[in-house]
Every structure is written in structure tokens, then in C-alpha cells.
Structure 1
Amino acid sequence: MLEEEKIDDGMTGGQIIPINIEEHMKTAYINYSMSVIVARALPDVRDGLKPVHRRILYDMSAELGLSSDKPTRKSARIVGDVLGKFHPHGDSSVYEAMVRMAQNWSMRYPLVDGQGNFGSMDGDSAAAMRYTEARMQKITDEVLADIDKDTVDWTGNFDDTMLEPKVLPTKIPLLLVNGSSGIAVGMATNMAPHNLSEVVDACCAYIDNPEMECEELLRYVKGPDFPTGGLIYGYEGVKEALISGRCRVVLRARTEVEHTPSGRECIVVTEIPYTVNKEQMIKKIAAMVNERKIEGISYINDESDRNGLRIIIILKPDAVASVVLNTLYKNSELQTSFPVNNIALVNGRPQLLNLKELIHHFVEHRHEVVVRRTRFDLKKAEDRLHIVLGLLIAQDNIDEVIHTIRAAKNPEEAKAALIEKFGLSDIQSAAIIEMRLRALTGLEHGKLVAERDELERQIAYFKEVLADVSKQMEIIKEELQEMKAKYGDERRSEIIYSSEEFNPEDFYADDDMVITISHMGYIKRTPLTEYRTQNRGGVGAKGSATRDEDFIEHIYVASMHNTMLFFTEKGRCYWLKVYEIPEGTRSSKGRAIQNVIQIEPDDKVRAYINVKRLTDEEYINNNYIVMCTQDGTIKKTKLEAYSRPRANGVNAIVIREGDQLIDAKLTSGDAEVLIAARDGKAIRFNENTVRAIGRVGAGVRGISIEESDAVVGMICIEPDSKQDVLVLSENGYGKRTDLEEYRITNRGGKGVKTINVTEKTGKLISIQAVTDDNDLMIINRSGLTIRTAVEQIRVAGRATQGVRIINLREGDAIASVMAVPKSEEAEETVPSAEGGEAPATESTQE
């Protein structure tokens, strides 16, 4: 399609030229697009700033003098100055850009120091610019440092009345540390912020080895580091974003599980994902709770204050925190994604950049700045030296100089005479004419000589720098390290790895851990080395901080790489890696087991088995799980039936009403089984007498007991084992007995006496299989623990009452007993009953 365009030639009164409207529209749109891309929406790869940000910072620095050590000025004054001199757009675009540079939740390293209401994370807008004031942050002084030393190119402003910089000579890689976002025409950029310390280390590593691959730089830059902190879920997205420049990074809020004063569980949110509006997020969660799209939440409240963000989500009594949290991640902004798209202007053209390219362009920019700055300083020093040398000539010939000047009719004639008589330059002669009489003193002469020497030294250094690229790069590194020392800080965003991305075992040493589970269901892992050996009869060391009504009920030992099978008293089985259990000190309470594995609120873990090779077909088909219940039922199932972990667990044994699971053991299929009851009876039979059945089944009779009696434990001793049978009563009496003293009987019988139960000993509490290479770890209901060597406990007859193993305070009783590997550490000093410190001593044998 053609359209006529009238062009006035000034003589004929106009000329009609036909044009192609399609081509004209295409050209006009391309020009508009490039204007938006280059002059508005995309940052420059060198200083990481868009034109509006660059103009604001330059105006605050050069035009208004609002450096970090100067008083603040009205924002309206700053905006007006920027509009009138450099940025002929709407005032809101300039003010909003300045406000964002002052918000510490929007920028990782804010560039503007704002005074007044500059908005909030709830989406509140800043106060009008007539009410707020601003100046530059201290870090911004480094962004504009040396701008007056011909370090960057300049261009005319919109009306060519003054100059503005095309780029700022920043010492800080702003594009990486603060990121950027913008929508141009046909393209957009969305760059994540990073940690300054990590980026500086990566830049220095690149300077040392420019040939290094992008993957090698990942050792220094771990990933984005958002100003609002939070969690980055999954490393693959982070890695892809840094290597390719484009990917999606998943962000999660940082949460903790706490308890209200009434004991209710609550999820506490302390950090939210980047760019999320806190108020809107809370409203959406509340709306979903009211609409029953999210179950298990009874109350949500924002308790944030000047000390930090804090959102409280109180759960219903029967809710499981981990389940509710996963639902929130799925349905609310507690989990969002950040689409990384690293597009920036390189030589005026938009380009997709990876981490190495971003660092390369910044280092090249800094290299140019250092070279141009050094040239400027060199010229300035040479010019000054030229004048100083002329002044020294004048001082050395002061009488002739004075006579020549006095004889001249005017300054121009005096300058010409000095040039002719002393061989001076025009600049030198002008400086001599302007010289004051005080310069004739001996002190001033000494100052000029010292200045000359210093200038000569500086000039030699500048020339040396300009002649050696390695020295230039060393200067860049030194200045970067200075920026890191001044402004570097710790990471705020933590990167957590999803299970499918890596083998978590590679991150944990295979150390032995003590797993403790309290009566009220709190679990933790503690390094075994924290528990040190005491002599038999010791009082014990404090083992766990529990509530008054709580006590440690189960204690197990496993290595970090083991897979643990948890068996509950209701007969269900759950899986967990040891490193997934929350770590705690020996005195800490631990974490509610419902937050670690998804067991029912009224269920308890009763037994645990640790295995390493659930994927080994031969191993899982030739080993068995033997379970025993409180009423004496025993069940045997192949390990293979429990080799496929499920998050919600599986049924392991059918539990009849009024019964519960007591213990479960891993066996080879040929073990000797001993089951002991509270009244002091124990039965021994071979595992072969129990037929292996599937997971769905109730088992068979293991021991016959009275209605008032109950099974306290089961041990399984393998044929080649040298283990003895160790029994312990609730009042602290115990003994070791040779296995052969227990005769083999038919499964389902009443058994034989294993300990002489008296009022002094109390009922039987535990049966363990031990050797001299074991220690015995005992925890009582008050939370005290003692670890004593098994070899200190003498071997006694089957029907005796044994010796005192642990001294119990009045009203206390043993809660849990476990045989653990022997410790090589020395005897530990423990608190005595009177509150002082005394070494544990051996009790008199009964």
C-alpha cells in the first residue's frame, strides 16, 4: 500500500513523494523498539544500570553533591533536577526508580539512603516526594569514584546543553550483585542479585585464569542471594541459570516449627521469597483456609516489627506441620519461582549472558577505567611536574627573574622575556608570574623539591602500570578485595538440594550417631562421641532437656549413611535416613517426631532397624525382620517386604486390640530368639521355628504370659555371635548371663527365670545382647544418662538378682537401656547427688 508524503522544498511550495506505509511502519516501530531497549528498559553490562538509575546517581553526586557524608535533600528537589537536566520523562518514573534503590528488600545492596516513608514489603507505596529526603549510600560513592578522571565516555543530554556519562566507572559489579529487571519491546530481562563477597572472589579467580570454564566459577558464586533471604529449593535451576543465563529458580519461605504456650504446634515464617507482597500473601492464605482449600490451620497472624519479619500460622491439634507446610508451598506464595533471563546491553546491543560473560565484561570495563584513570593521573602529574620545575628554576635565579619582570611593561612582555632568557615554556612562565613572594622562602623551596621528587616517583609508577597489563589486573583485584572488605557480608538465601539432584550421603561423614526418642515423641541425633564412659554405679550426666512429664524412652545407635526403619506400637513401618533426623546437642530436647516422619498423633515409635543396602537383592531376600508384641506374639517377614520406602509408611504387623509392638530386629534367619517378660521370665527358641509370612499378618505365639504380665523386650543372637544376655531391672540392678544357661524350649512356652525379681530390684525393664566390646547406655526418667563398660558387669547365674548398675535418686526409675559400641575415652567427671562434681565410682556388688 502506498501513501503520499508531502515535502516542502521551500521553493515550489511542496513536493508529493509516494512511500510504502508497511515499510514506513516497520522502520518506525524498529526505531521505537531500539529506543526502548537501549535508552530505557535494559541495563548496561558494564555498570549494571539503566539510564534512569545512572542519571539519578550522577545527578545526586555531581550536580547536587549528595554523597554519603552530606545532609539529605528533598526527593522532589532531586527528581526535579534529574528531569530538567537529563531525563525528560514523567516524574513518577524517576521517583519510583529512586525509591526502589533505597528499599533494602528490593535491592541486595541499596544505592540510595532514604529518609522518610519509602514503602514496605506489604506493598505500601512510598510517601510523596515532597515528604521524603535522600542522599547516596556509602557504597554508591564507590560506583561514582574517579568519574572526574576521564574514566568514561560522555554524551550530550537531551537538549545538548550539558554532558552526561554513558556509563559509570563502578568498582562494584552492580549487575551481578543487585540484578535488574525490565520489559523492553520483544524482549525482557530478569537478573537475580548475588552476594558481593562471592562475586568478588569469582572476579579475582577469573582475572587469575581467564580461560577457566563457567562451571569452575560456580565454586565461588553459589547462586543468587536475594535481599529477603529465604530458601532456594533445588540446585539444578541455579546451575543452569549461571551457566546458560536463562532458567527458573524455585524460592521458598524460611520456616520453623514452634509451640505456643498451650502446646499447639505453629509454623513461623521468618523470611519470604523475593518480590512477594507479604500482606497479599497472608490474605490469600487466609482466604484458602476459609474456603477449606488448605486444611489444618486454625489461625494466622502477622507479628512482623522493626526487628524483622514474623508470620505465625497456628495449626489445629490433629494437624501435622510437615503436611500443612507442603500444602502451603504448593498453593500459596510461600513458594514461588524466579525466572532468570540474563539479557543486558553489550556495546549497545542486547545479549544473553552467562556468569563468565558477565564477569568478563565487568573486568574489561574496570580494566579500561584503570587504564584511563592512570593516564589521567600521569598527565596531571607530568603537568604539575612541569610547573614545579619552572618554579625551581625561578627560585634558583630569583634576582634575574625579579629584574626581568620589573623591566617589562606588562605581564605578556614579562612572560616573553622569561621564556627567552631561561628557556621556559609558556605555562611555566605564567606560573612564575603568578608566584607569590612567600614562595621565595627556604621552606617553600624545600616543599617544591619534595613535591618534585614525589611527582617523579608517581610518574615512574604510572608509566610502569601503563606498560604492564598484569599490574593493571593486580590493581583491579586489589580494589575488588577492598570492596569485599568494606561491603561484603554473609549469604542471606540458603540453597537446599532436592533429593533427586544429588546423593546427600556425599555431604555427611559416616559417623556414629545416638538417636534418642522421648516418651512424648521428640527425636534427635547426637554424635556418639558426646557420650563418655563412666564406671558402673555412677550417677550419670545430663542427657536431654525434657519437660517435667517427659523422659527419654528409646535410645539407638546408627551411622549417618544408614537407612532407618521405624516400627511404631501400632505396627506401622516408616523409613528415614539418619542425616535427615534433626541434630541436637546432648542436652537439647529434639524435634517432634510427627514433623520428621508422618506418624499418627497417638502412635509412638517402639523399634528401629538400620540397614545400608535396601537396593541389594541378595541382601534383602536373605535377611528378615522379627517383631514381638507386648502380649508375646512374634512375627517374621523378609526384609524385602520393607525395601520400598513410602512417605506415609506401611503396615508391618496386625496389632490386636489392647496389644502393641514392643521390638523389631534384623536377623539372618537362623538366630536364637529370647523374649523376656516383666515378672522375670524369658524364653529361648530358634528363629527357624517361626515361619516367614508377608507384611499383612498377625504372627504366632512367642511366649505365654499371665494377664498381668507384659513382654519388655526381645533379643536375637546369631549363631556365630559371642554375645551374652544382659538384663536390667527398673531399680538399677542387672547382670550378664551366658546364653547357654537358657535352655531351648518350644516356642509359645512360659520360659525360665532370667532374673530374681524382688522388691529391691523392681520389675524387669530390659534385655540386651552384649559382649565385652559394648558399653551400656542407660537413661532414666529424669533425663540423666550414664554410659558404663559392659566388661565391668560380672557374669552371674540366670536366677540371681545381679549387681547395682546405676544409682537412682529417690522417685526416679530407669526409662531406657541400649548396648552401644565401646568408647575409648577416659572416665568422665559427672555431677554428684549433692550438686558438686565427683568422679563416678563403682557400687558394691549385691
Structure 2
Amino acid sequence: MSSDAPDHDQDVPASRVETARIEQEMEQSYIDYAMSVIAGRALPDARDGLKPVHRRILYAMHEAGVTARASHRKSSSVVGETMGDFHPHGDSAIYDALARMAQDFSMREPLVDGQGNFGSIDGDPPAAMRYTEARMSPIAEELLADIGKDTVDFSPNYDGRKQEPDVLPAAFPNLLVNGSSGIAVGMSTNVPPHNLGEVIDATIHLIDNPDCTVEDLMEHVVAPDFPTGANIVGRNAIYKAYKTGRGRLRVRAELETSEDRIVITELPYQANKSRLIERIADDVNDGKLDGIRDLRDESDRDGIRIVVELKRGANPDVVENQLLESHLETTFGVINLALVDGQPKVLDLKETLEVYLDHRREVVRRRSEYDLEEAEDRAHILEGRLTALENADDVVELIQDAEDRDAAKAALKAAYGFSDDQVDHIVAMQLGSLTSMETAAIEEEYESVQEEIDRLETILENESELLGVIKDELREIKSSYADERRTRIIEDTGEVTDEDLIPQEDTLVVVSEDDYIKRMSLSTFKAQNRGGKGIIGADLKEDDRVSSVFLANTHDYLLCFTNQGQVYKLKTYQVPEMSRTARGKSAVNLLDLDEGEEIEAVVDCDDLEAGTGRYLTMATRNGRVKRTAVEEFGNILSTGIRAIRLAEDDALVDVELTDGDTDLVVASAGGMSIRFAESEVRSMGRDARGVGGIKLAADDHVVGIAAIGDDHDWLLTVTDNGYGKRTPVDAYRQQSRYGKGLIDIKTSDRNGPACAIDAVTPGDQLVVMSEDGQIIRTPVEDISTVGRNTMGVIVMSLDAGDSVASVAVIPSDRAESSD
């Protein structure tokens, strides 16, 4: 190695060393990157409403002559020219942007006229770019109109070979018309599309009234106008979005509802139809949506049509409300963020239009200056030609005498003072232009050019004339392209719950031993005289029997107590309403019942407010009684909770709501009863077993418990064979609990065992239902008043083998309203 060779291991001092804190360097680098993303990729320019990729695609199509009047070009060709000349990013990103501009469900006014598969509202992706073709749509040309007249600034492209526009001239406010969405670093934009005609009207109003308010402009731009139509709920959110540049719009699908079906004809903007249908179907299968039996997509090129077939007996309003709540209403978050002078800014409605107007004013001014310069140049040429024609003989002679063309030009300039441009045209004139007709044509053109010069000078000198040009051009675009509004505005009625859509009425809820459940309007069953057979109340399947019937209002929350000591919470309207002859719906779809678990008692829990000193008092088959404060039942799980702990051979048979000061009467199937003060049963927790209430004979069991209040006159007892009686409550003397009690009713072969006991008052009515599904409604005062140890009278006539399954009492105030 030569001794003169440099020693690479030798330290060489740096010419300049700067010390920098790493956190500051990283912060500045990140800010530079963020601003590059914000300005160069993610956010639209407030002037033309375009991001760089969209602007470059349209300009590349313009440069390649792929206009609305040209034939379609392969999308791959457009993407290739855009990528090669202007947008040095991946072809898939460019093609995605191109495809979106061709989608009539994404753009209010599509900027690309596509041919082939450019995707669908089902979320299907566009076909490969080699299969599709594209060209500019007619309205896209309005964004590029006059771009060759020095109307906008140009900058070098990424490699300096070409020039690209910083912004397009934009003959209409594209940011509002087509909207925009994008995510930058630390910020995002989401501008909704609008109706072209409304936006132009608002722009013209702003030109005429520069001091107008956002409220004034909203008389023209009433709301966003989505390409997919649908409905915007409420006006307050629209006003906030236009006033502040931010807001949350509720967008609701358009529905047509009938008794047996719901037809969806318009979807919220950006909803994926296929995924929406899948989610609805999943919720139906999971039991989250009730009342739907079929779901079909009948959409075609004419529009959206999704048919939701309803089950028999389903409430269409409730199903519609559930669909809206979970699937058919979305939120569009408005963030009107765009670049203004290269900086991101949130704009209100007026500011958005003002930025556009300032841009358009500059475009028209620069175009007028360009046209004026062109017109003045042409007038200058025409002036020279006219002078030459006036002196045609001398001009011809001068040219003939000249040695060459340059000498002829010099002679003309010396003789008449022509400029270089003028003599170039004069020397190039043909002899045919010396005719009188050609002279007249030149004179006419000169006058026309002078008029154009005067017009352009007026525009440049007079602001109102310039604004008048902008207004005229906007009106022309509106006339050519505007269409009717698609999105409607509906009033916000607040949150509508399923309960709001259900009429309040008293119903009878019937449950069978095989856990079929249904409800029927109480008015279906008119009061009859006692002793009749009644009418059919349920068409049971073979070997099934009615287990219970109870009265409830459709808006009531019910506590359903089962024989196994569990309690469930249920809204009455959730029980399907069906006809008298219908079997019902399996209760497992409503309550998480175990095998062999049956509903034995129902309590209206609208009365269960904590701190009221009220109790749920329970009686078991083996004679135990338990009292628990209503606060213990404030949070009932969907799978139910334990209400009472039972012995293996015991079962819950009845529950009463008490206030701590009533007397309780426990009745047995053998016709025995005992009355004692409620206070003798101390309040216990849900997991307790209770205390002894009545001592039973070996073959006897409890059938019910009644709470006697001050307003009760009688105790009503009904037996299995359809007999019953009223007895004054005074006939039942108070005893200590856990005694044998007194005879309540004779349980002979005619009567059969007792099956129900209730405290009643004048005006009350009785609903008795048999195990075979017969039902009768009769006034309690039709039933004879007799003593305790008596047989009673026939209440319901039963067929052989049938027996009473359940008894419900209709209080006098509710009995009158349902007659």
C-alpha cells in the first residue's frame, strides 16, 4: 500500500457539529411527517373539494383527452398515467380513488363515468382495473374548465418533468356537493354530500348578501343530501353541524310497514347492504329480534328492496322500532375539516362557501386577464390587417419592390408603423383576403373583439360584474346538472321504546304445562253468567294442559314465580299476542325455564318500589310461608334469581304483594284454611325457607294464599270441578300461624278439591280457565254468598275429564274498562 493512501481508520474532524436534543428532533420530524400527510394525502382542499389523488386522476384524464366526449379508456391506462406522471404511490390506492369517483352510491355527483364493475353497495370490490373502463363525467369537466387559461397555479410534479395544478378551477362548490372523508395524523375529516342545486342557491345568496348568517344560508341548504336517500332525524344536529362545522346526524332508513311485512327501500349513507342483512338474520337466529319469519333481498338496478316478513301476531311497529334501534339507524359524524391556505381548518357553512367564492373570484379574475390579453393581441393583429387593406395598393407595391421578405417587413414598418406581429400577419396574407367580403369579415371580427375587450375590462374593474359572471355560470351549472333532493328530514320525536308503540290494555296471559305462553286482550272475553261452559281460550297440543292464567296490563313489568322457587322478570308485551284458538309460543324463548319448571304466580312489579315497606309473601305446597322485602328483587337476571329455598319435596304455589299490616289466609286442597296476621311472619332474605303457615293432613297440600285488606269483603274459593262460593271475611277468625285452621269449603266428590282462593270486593270479576283450554269470565257477585263449611255453586260447567286449571281476579276498576 502506498504511503500516500488515506488512512480510513484515522479520525477526521467534522467541519461542523450541531448538538440537538433527540426529543426535539423526533418531535419536529413527526410534525413534518404529519403535515405531509395532512396536506399531501388525507385532507381535501376547501377550494375544489379534492384530495391530491383525486385531483391528479382528473388532471391526468384531462391531459390524456379522456373527457366526457371521448371513448372510455381502460382504467389501468388511467391509473398508469396518473402514477407515472403525477402520483408516485401504489396503483391500488389510485384505482380505489378512481373507483369511488365512479360509484353513484358514494358520490352525490360522480366525477368518473365508469363502464364495468366498480363495486356495489353490498361491499363488493371493483373488478380488476384491467377489466374496467373510465372517462370523465360531464360535471367533472366543469371542475377543470378554463384550466389552460392561467386560472390556477401549477407546481412541478414529483420528478420535475411536468407541471400539475395546485388546485382545480372548480366551477361549482365540490367540497359540499360530493363531500369528503379521510384520516390524517391526529385529525380526520367527514364532510357529507349535498344537493347541487341547494348549494348553488346558497352560494348565490352569499354573493348577494355577504353579511348573511348561517341561518340565512340554511334556508337554501336545508341538510346534507346523501346519494342513497334515507332520512335525517331532527334539525338541531343539522344546525349545529352547519354552525360549528361539527355535529352528529342520525340517518334512518326509509321503510314501508304493513301488517305482515316491512319493506326497506333506502339505506343510510355508507351502509353495507349485504352485511346489514346478515346482522339482522343473526339477531333473529339469536333471539334478539322477535317477530320476523323471513328476510329477503329483492334489490335490483332500480333500487333497494329488502323485505322483512313478519310472524303472525307480531306487532309491526315494535319490530320496526327494534330494527331502527339496532340496524337501520346510523350516526354520521360531521367534521367539516379542509385545507385553507395549506392549513387544516374546521369551517362552518358560511366559511366553506366564502373560501370557495374567494377561489372562484380569483379564477374568474385570472381567466378574464388571460382572455383580455388574448383579445388585445387579436385586436392588435386585426388593426394592422385593416390598415393594410385600406392601403392595399401601396402595401402590395411595397412588398413587390422589396428584395426579400425581411426587406418587405422593414419597409411596411417604416411606412405605417406596424409592429413585428402585425407585419408577420400582413406578409402572410393571401391575395384572396383583399376582397371586399373578406374585409367586411375582418371589420366585423374587430368590432366583436373590441366588445369582448370592453366586457373583460368591465369585469376586471367592477367587482359586481365579476360576481355577476360567477352567478351566471353557477346558474348554468344548476340548470344542466341539478336534480331533486333525495334525503328527507323527519322530526325527532325522541327515543321511541317498544313500550311506546304498544297500546295499554288489560290482557290475559295463559301458560300451559308444556310451557307454551300467549296473551289475549281481556275484551275478547265478555262477562257471562256463572255456570256456563265459556269459550275456547287455547287450542292445546295433545297431552298438554293449561297450568295458569293471570291478568296483566301490556305495559306491566311482571315477576313470574315458578314452582321451583325461581323468579323471572318479563314485560307483558314481550309475550306474543295471539288469537283465542292459538296454541301459544314456547316460553323458553322468553324465560330461561328449566325442565319441569312452571309459572305458578305472577306479581305486577310496577308496585315494587324500594322503601315503600311492601313485601312479597309466598306460600309453598307443604304449608310454609315466607315474607321478603321487595328491595330484594330489584336486580333480576335474565336467567332468573332464587326467590325461596325449597325442600326437595316442596314447591312454590302462590305469591301475594302485602304491606306488613294485612291478614293472610292460607288455603289447602282439602278445603282447610287459616287466617293469621302478616306480622307473625318475620321478613327474611331470598335464600330463606320461611316458617310454618298451616299444619296439613297427611294427604293435603296448599293451593293458594290471599291477603285481606280493609277494602275486601269476601273470600272467594273455587274447586277443581268448577264450583265456588263467596264467604264474608269476618267468618274467618284470626288465629296464630301454623295451626290446622278452619274448614273453608266442603270438598265432596261433586266439588272436588279446592284449587284457588282470593280476596274480592263488589264489582270484581272472575276469570276461570280449565285444563282443556276453556275460559269463562263472570262477575263475582253472581256467585252465592254462603258460610264457610258449605258446598258452593257451579261457576263453570266442565266436560268430563276436564278440571279448573287456574283462576284470576279482575279488580272492579279494570273490569269496567274492559267490558
* TM-based fold match above 0.5: yes
**In the alignment, residue 393 of structure 2 is paired with which amino acid?**
D
What CA RMSD, in Å, does the superposition of the two structures yield over aligned residues?
A: 2.8
CA 1:36–1:443 in structure 2 vs 1: closer, same or farther (change >3 Å)?
Answer: same
CA contact 1:107–1:227 (8 Å) conserved in 2: yes
CA contact 1:233–1:495 (8 Å) conserved in 2: yes
Structure 1 residue 699 displacement after superposition: 4.6
CA distance in 1, matches of 2:482, 2:446: 39
In structure 2, the residue matched to 1:456 is 450
CA distance in 2, matches of 1:422, 1:88: 56
2:303 maps to 1:308: yes
CA 1:46–1:429 in structure 2 vs 1: closer, same or farther (change >3 Å)?
Answer: same
- What SS is found at the alignment partner of 2:17? strand
Structure 1 residue 172 displacement after superposition: 1.2
2:248 maps to 1:253: no
- What SS is found at the alignment partner of 2:181? strand
Structure 1 residue 288 displacement after superposition: 1.1
CA distance in 2, matches of 1:483, 1:28: 45
CA contact 1:571–1:655 (8 Å) conserved in 2: no
In structure 2, the residue matched to 1:82 is 82
2:218 maps to 1:187: no
**In the alignment, residue 185 of structure 1 is paired with which amino acid?**
V
2:293 maps to 1:294: no
- What SS is found at the alignment partner of 1:97? helix
Q: What does residue range 361-380 of structure 1 map to in structure 2 within 5 Å?
A: 361-380=355-374
2:347 maps to 1:346: no
Structure 1 residue 424 displacement after superposition: 0.8
CA 1:348–1:123 in structure 2 vs 1: closer, same or farther (change >3 Å)?
Answer: same
CA 1:697–1:128 in structure 2 vs 1: closer, same or farther (change >3 Å)?
Answer: closer
What is the percentage of aligned positions where both structures have the same residue? Answer: 48
CA 1:293–1:500 in structure 2 vs 1: closer, same or farther (change >3 Å)?
Answer: closer
CA 1:500–1:337 in structure 2 vs 1: closer, same or farther (change >3 Å)?
Answer: closer
**In the alignment, residue 114 of structure 1 is paired with which amino acid?**
G
**In the alignment, residue 33 of structure 2 is paired with which amino acid?**
Y
CA distance in 1, matches of 2:388, 2:42: 59
Q: 2:393 aligns with which of 373, 395, 399?
A: 399
Which ranges in structure 2 are unaligned for 5 or more consecutive residues?
Answer: 1-7, 496-550, 556-574, 581-762, 768-774, 778-810
CA 1:599–1:371 in structure 2 vs 1: closer, same or farther (change >3 Å)?
Answer: farther
Structure 1 residue 411 displacement after superposition: 2.6
CA distance in 2, matches of 1:600, 1:351: 56
Structure 1 residue 17 displacement after superposition: 2.4
Q: What does residue range 663-678 of structure 1 map to in structure 2 within 5 Å?
A: none
Q: What does residue range 717-796 of structure 1 map to in structure 2 within 5 Å?
A: none
CA 1:14–1:411 in structure 2 vs 1: closer, same or farther (change >3 Å)?
Answer: farther
In structure 2, the residue matched to 1:729 is none
In structure 2, the residue matched to 1:612 is none
In structure 2, the residue matched to 1:691 is none
In structure 1, the residue matched to 2:419 is 425
- What SS is found at the alignment partner of 2:813? coil
**In the alignment, residue 338 of structure 1 is paired with which amino acid?**
F
CA contact 1:571–1:654 (8 Å) conserved in 2: no
Structure 1 residue 696 displacement after superposition: 3.4
**In the alignment, residue 271 of structure 1 is paired with which amino acid?**
E
Structure 1 residue 370 displacement after superposition: 1.4
In structure 1, the residue matched to 2:432 is 438
In structure 2, the residue matched to 1:481 is 475
CA contact 1:190–1:340 (8 Å) conserved in 2: yes
CA contact 2:258–2:316 (8 Å) conserved in 1: no
TM-score by length of 1: 0.58
CA distance in 1, matches of 2:454, 2:175: 35
Structure 1 residue 19 displacement after superposition: 3.6
Structure whose alpha-carbon radius of gyration is higher: 2
Structure 1 residue 414 displacement after superposition: 2.2
In structure 2, the residue matched to 1:413 is 407
Q: What does residue range 614-625 of structure 1 map to in structure 2 within 5 Å?
A: none
In structure 2, the residue matched to 1:620 is none
Report Cα offsets for 1:39-64 as digits up to 9, x if no partner.
11100001000111011111111x11
2:441 maps to 1:324: no
CA 1:469–1:655 in structure 2 vs 1: closer, same or farther (change >3 Å)?
Answer: farther
CA distance in 1, matches of 2:100, 2:411: 62
- What SS is found at the alignment partner of 1:17? coil
Structure 1 residue 425 displacement after superposition: 0.9
TM-score by length of 2: 0.60
Q: What does residue range 692-707 of structure 1 map to in structure 2 within 5 Å?
A: 696-699=813-816
CA distance in 1, matches of 2:270, 2:81: 30
Structure 1 residue 146 displacement after superposition: 1.1
2:191 maps to 1:206: no
CA 1:500–1:300 in structure 2 vs 1: closer, same or farther (change >3 Å)?
Answer: closer
- What SS is found at the alignment partner of 1:164? strand
**In the alignment, residue 453 of structure 1 is paired with which amino acid?**
E
Q: What does residue range 86-97 of structure 1 map to in structure 2 within 5 Å?
A: 86-97=86-97
In structure 2, the residue matched to 1:133 is 133
Structure 1 residue 571 displacement after superposition: 12
Structure 1 residue 408 displacement after superposition: 2.9
Report Cα offsets for 1:93-117 as digits up to 9, x if no partner.
1111000000000101100000011
CA distance in 1, matches of 2:579, 2:458: 79
In structure 1, the residue matched to 2:796 is none
In structure 2, the residue matched to 1:555 is none
Structure 1 residue 22 displacement after superposition: 2.0
Structure 1 residue 389 displacement after superposition: 0.7
- What SS is found at the alignment partner of 1:251? strand
In structure 2, the residue matched to 1:268 is 263
In structure 1, the residue matched to 2:60 is 59
2:489 maps to 1:495: yes
CA distance in 2, matches of 1:431, 1:59: 36
In structure 2, the residue matched to 1:238 is 238
2:93 maps to 1:99: no
CA distance in 1, matches of 2:817, 2:234: 47
- What SS is found at the alignment partner of 1:103? coil
CA distance in 1, matches of 2:408, 2:176: 59
CA contact 2:313–2:576 (8 Å) conserved in 1: no
CA distance in 1, matches of 2:403, 2:553: 114
CA distance in 1, matches of 2:579, 2:234: 34
CA 1:573–1:120 in structure 2 vs 1: closer, same or farther (change >3 Å)?
Answer: closer
CA distance in 2, matches of 1:342, 1:699: 60
CA contact 2:225–2:487 (8 Å) conserved in 1: yes
**In the alignment, residue 696 of structure 1 is paired with which amino acid?**
D
Q: 2:280 aligns with which of 279, 285, 288?
A: 285
CA contact 2:314–2:577 (8 Å) conserved in 1: no
- What SS is found at the alignment partner of 1:696? helix
**In the alignment, residue 54 of structure 1 is paired with which amino acid?**
R
In structure 2, the residue matched to 1:30 is 31
In structure 1, the residue matched to 2:329 is 335
- Tell me how many residue pairs correspond in the alignment: 515
CA distance in 2, matches of 1:410, 1:497: 85
CA 1:16–1:152 in structure 2 vs 1: closer, same or farther (change >3 Å)?
Answer: closer
**In the alignment, residue 235 of structure 1 is paired with which amino acid?**
R
2:146 maps to 1:146: yes
CA contact 2:213–2:350 (8 Å) conserved in 1: yes
CA contact 1:229–1:271 (8 Å) conserved in 2: yes
CA distance in 1, matches of 2:117, 2:388: 61
Q: 1:384 aligns with which of 375, 378, 383?
A: 378
CA 1:308–1:462 in structure 2 vs 1: closer, same or farther (change >3 Å)?
Answer: same
In structure 2, the residue matched to 1:530 is none
Structure 1 residue 413 displacement after superposition: 2.6
- What SS is found at the alignment partner of 2:319? helix
**In the alignment, residue 229 of structure 2 is paired with which amino acid?**
G
**In the alignment, residue 344 of structure 1 is paired with which amino acid?**
A
**In the alignment, residue 139 of structure 1 is paired with which amino acid?**
I
Report Cα offsets for 1:243-284 as digits up to 9, x if no partner.
11001111111111146xxxxx11111111111111111111
CA distance in 2, matches of 1:300, 1:16: 75
- What SS is found at the alignment partner of 1:319? coil
- What SS is found at the alignment partner of 1:212? coil
Report Cα offsets for 1:758-788 as digits up to 9, x if no partner.
xxxxxxxxxxxxxxxxxxxxxxxxxxxxxxx
CA distance in 2, matches of 1:700, 1:306: 53
Report Cα offsets for 1:7-41 as digits up to 9, x if no partner.
x9xx9785462442222212211111111111111
- What SS is found at the alignment partner of 2:483? coil
